Copies of this chain bind each other. A is one copy, B any other.
Amino acid sequence: MNEKGSTKRKILKTAARLFRQQGYHATGLNQIIQESGTPKGSLYHYFPNGKEELAVESIRITKANASLALMETLAPYHHVEEAFQALFAGFQEFVNNYDEEKEEGAPIGLLALETSSMSEPLRRICKESYEEWQKIFEAKMIECGIDQTRAKELSLVMIVLVEGAVTLSVVNKTSQPFIIIAKQIPSLLNKS
């Protein structure tokens, strides 16, 4: 990666960490500049429109990375129950092995709740993230024999379960919600 790419990445990585730790509103551009150790001019060069533009880019990257990870997790399975149980087992593992130092993603659920009522660009990119993941789930369900109408609804339910389980696992400091949800997958996804 060249110097320019590396500076931009440092800024985005620091911003994502601060968004995870303290949310959008409490994170100031000066703190991002200081903690990323990049020159002040760089942030304004890459993100001339400021914090909102930076957060949109941060969510866009997280959306793309998460989409890849979700597709990879679901790919090996040919039975829909197995595929989505593996998905929640994957989240459980992620929570258990969570490493704040290595994590680079923006906290989309938190940013969505914090900013949807005051920023259309942020609301839209959060919405697009959930829609993209929902499409991935839907495609897998259809591949496994669930009809399109049910697949569309059930894939929204999967997104809802993921986002709700993140909140409960943060509050309870445990990955247990993901295990409990994985157990319900067969009754939720029965093909009847």
Contacts and interface: CB of A to CB of B under 8 A. Distances in A.
A80 to B, nearest CB: 13
A123 interface: yes
B170 A156 contact: no
Interface of A: 21-26, 107, 109-110, 112-114, 116-118, 123, 126-127, 130, 153-154, 156-157, 159-168, 170-173, 177, 180-181, 183-184, 187-188, 190, 192
Contacts of A160: 160-161, 164-165, 167-168, 177, 181
A192 B23 CA distance: 43
A113 B170 contact: yes
B170 A130 contact: no
In order of increasing CB-CB distance, the 6 nearest A-B pairs are: A164-B164, A25-B26, A160-B164, A163-B164, A110-B113, A163-B167
B25 A170 contact: no
Query: Most chain-B CB neighbours within 10 Å: which of A159, A166, A170?
Result: A170
A176 to B, nearest CB: 8
Nearest to A122: B171
A153 B113 contact: no
A166 to B, nearest CB: 8
A107 to B, nearest CB: 7
Given A110-B110, A113-B110, A171-B130, A184 B188 contact: yes
Contacts of A180: 153, 156-157
A109 B187 contact: no
